A = this chain, B = another copy of it.
Amino acid sequence: MIELSKAEFEVLDAVWLGYPATASEVIARLSDNKEWHEKTIKTLLSRLVKKGALSFEKQGRQYNYTPCIAREEYTLKESQSFIERFFNGRIAPLVSGFAKSEQLSQHDIDELKKVIDDWEKQQK
């Protein structure tokens, strides 16, 4: 699995918002939330390319970046390893922890029910 740092993931996330994307576009997208220097973001883009998370095509003197992996795929892998490390690979204890500490809203519960529902239909 490609291992990304927190900062690298945030940059990749900005690319996932719409791609191909130039560095300037990524920088613009991130400028709302983060106080990152332009140079910092470019460094992170380079590291993402080096790690095989982004590919690019030259377009004049700019690069057009495209993710090499889907967000769902990446987050699934991360979720798996997270749940493995903290909950022995089982997902219910995580949800249960949220429930116990009142982190769940009715909306969350409804969504979870739907997920379960869909899963059961799938099994049928």
Contact = CB atoms under 8 A, between A and B. Distances in A.
Interface in A74-124: 75-76, 78-80, 82, 85-87, 90-92, 94-101, 103-104, 106, 108-109, 111-116, 118-120, 122-123
A92 B112 contact: yes
A9 interface: yes
A72 interface: yes
- Kindly report how many copies of this chain are found in the complex they form together: 2
B116 A109 contact: yes
B98 A79 contact: yes
A80 B103 contact: yes
A116 B80 CA distance: 21
A95 B98 contact: no
Contacts of A103: 76, 80, 91
A50 interface: no
Contact of A90 (B86, B100, B108): B108
A98 B92 CA distance: 12
Interface of A: 6, 9, 72, 75-76, 78-80, 82, 85-87, 90-92, 94-101, 103-104, 106, 108-109, 111-116, 118-120, 122-123
